[in-house]
């Protein structure tokens, strides 16, 4: 055989070898792609499982945190309500005691003033008596302790956890507590018949002056 035949045989063998190598390479690539697909699928499944576990754990932690916050807020609201009621009760009692003492002092001052005016009137008329004249006033007011109604239950703050977790921008306002209404204190008692006594004293003084002038004029 000639050189051409040998070259063609060698070329044919090389072509067959390259073809078989290419087939093996394609099979290896297909097997690698299949293995890579299964590996990626397993990795994605692991990621999904870890994500679900983490979401469940964080959800439970958020629920416990929100429940703790709600409990703390309820305790604070209850304490604020009790403190406010106690402060209002104490302030009302102190104001009532102060007003009662002031009424007592003012009534005593009015009585002393009325007795002084009566004594001055008697002295001006020229009458003298061993006993001191005292003006009877109305009954001194007595301060009665205020009655308090039963304390209202403290305000509670509650909302379902699912709604709290779904609401990301919602804000909650605590209900306002109306302050207790204080009763208007009764007016302070004034001296009885003060104006009548004053007018009577002025009238008696004029008559006394007229009598004095007439007496001296006659002499």
- Could you tell me how many helices (H) and strands (E) the chain has, helices first? 3, 0
Between 165 and 33, the more confident residue is 33
Q: Is residue 46 part of a domain?
A: yes
pLDDT tens, 133-181? 555 655 554 544 445 454 555 555 555 444 555 554 444 444 444 545 5
Give the tokens for residue 49.
């499982």
Q: What is the total count of domains within the chain?
A: 1
Q: What average pLDDT does this structure show over 188-196? A: 50
* pTM for the full predicted model: 0.39
Q: Is residue 3 part of a domain?
A: no
**pLDDT recorded at residue 187:** 47
| 26-30, 124-128, 149-153: segment of lowest average pLDDT | 149-153
**pLDDT recorded at residue 148:** 47
pLDDT tens, 196-219? 666 666 767 776 777 676 666 544
**pLDDT recorded at residue 218:** 47
**pLDDT recorded at residue 6:** 83
Residues 196 and 116 sit within 8 Å (Cβ to Cβ): no
Q: Is residue 17 part of a domain?
A: no
The DSSP annotation for 147-195 comes to P-PPPPPPP-----HHHHHH-SS----PPP-PPPPPPPPPPPPPPTTHH
Distance of CA 56 to the CA centre of its chain: 36
Q: What average pLDDT does this structure show over 60-83? A: 94
Q: Is residue 131 part of a domain?
A: yes
Q: Is residue 45 part of a domain?
A: yes
- Which own/partner pairs from 208-214 qualify as long-range (CB within 8 Å, at least 24 positions apart)? 208/124, 208/125
Q: Is residue 118 part of a domain?
A: yes
Q: Is residue 13 part of a domain?
A: no
Between 70 and 159, the more confident residue is 70
> Which residue, among 56, 69, 52, has the nearest Cα to 164 in the 3D structure?
69
Q: Is residue 147 part of a domain?
A: yes
Q: Which domain holds residue 68?
A: 37-218
pLDDT over 80 at 194, yes or no: no
**Band of pLDDT at residue 7, cut at 50, 70 and 90:** confident
Q: Residue 143 in 3-state DSSP? A: coil
Residues 190 and 98 sit within 8 Å (Cβ to Cβ): no
What's the mean per-residue pLDDT of the chain?
Answer: 76
Q: What angle do CA 117, 121, 122 make, to 5 degrees?
A: 120
pLDDT over 70 at 34, yes or no: yes
């Amino acid at each position: 055989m000639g050189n051409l035949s040998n070259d063609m045989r060698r070329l044919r063998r090389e072509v067959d070898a390259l073809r078989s190598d290419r087939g093996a390479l394609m099979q290896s690539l297909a097997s690698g792609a299949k293995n890579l697909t299964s590996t990626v699928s397993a990795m994605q499944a692991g990621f999904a499982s870890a994500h679900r576990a983490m979401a469940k754990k964080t959800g439970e932690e958020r629920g416990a945190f929100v429940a703790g916050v709600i409990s703390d807020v309820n305790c604070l609201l209850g304490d604020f309500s009790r403190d406010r009621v106690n402060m209002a009760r104490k302030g009302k009692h102190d104001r009532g005691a102060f007003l009662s003492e002031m009424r007592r002092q003012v009534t005593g001052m009015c009585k002393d003033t009325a007795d002084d005016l009566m004594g001055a009137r008697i002295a001006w008329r020229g009458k003298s008596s061993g006993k001191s004249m005292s003006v009877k006033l109305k009954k001194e007011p007595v301060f009665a302790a205020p009655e308090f109604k039963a304390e209202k239950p403290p305000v509670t703050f509650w909302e379902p956890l699912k709604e709290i977790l779904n609401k990301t921008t919602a804000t909650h306002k605590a209900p306002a507590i109306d302050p207790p209404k204080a009763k208007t204190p009764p007016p302070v008692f004034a001296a009885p018949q003060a104006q009548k006594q004053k007018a009577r004293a002025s009238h008696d003084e004029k008559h006394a002056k007229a009598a004095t002038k007439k007496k001296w004029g006659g002499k």
